Amino acid sequence: MSCQHLVCAQCAHPVIEGRCSLCRANRERMHQHGFAGLTPALFALLLVVLLLVTLALRHLGGL
């Protein structure tokens, strides 16, 4: 969902314009992405690295 088509209940202007404090707060909230501050791509990369490390340890007999 994006804020391009949302209208603010307080000022009746598009949220994307951020004319009032409520618009700005909701725009910022909607633009936050990821998990724990990580972008989805970085989060996926960390999962792949974790998988590769786990497989390497199993192959070496560490687990």
pLDDT in tens for each of the 63 residues of the chain?
566 788 888 999 988 888 999 988 888 887 776 566 667 788 889 999 999 999 999 988 855
Six token digits for residue 8? 């603010």
pLDDT computed for residue 3 by the predictor: 64
* Residue 46 CB partners (closer than 8 Å, separation 6+): 38
Do residue 25 and residue 45 come from a single domain?
no
DSSP 15: G
How many Cα atoms are found within 13 Å in the side-chain-facing hemisphere of 61?
0
Task: Return the bridge partners of 38, or none.
Answer: 35
Residues 18 and 42 in one domain: no
End-to-end CA, the chain: 43
Model pLDDT, residue 62: 59
Is residue 2 domain-shared with residue 25, that is, in the same domain? yes
- Does pTM top 0.95 for this prediction? no
Q: Clarify whether residues 40 and 62 are in a common domain.
A: yes
Do 25 and 43 fall into the same domain?
no
Which residues lie below 8 Å from residue 22, measured CB to CB, with a gap of 6+? Answer: 8, 9, 10, 11
2, 27: one domain = yes
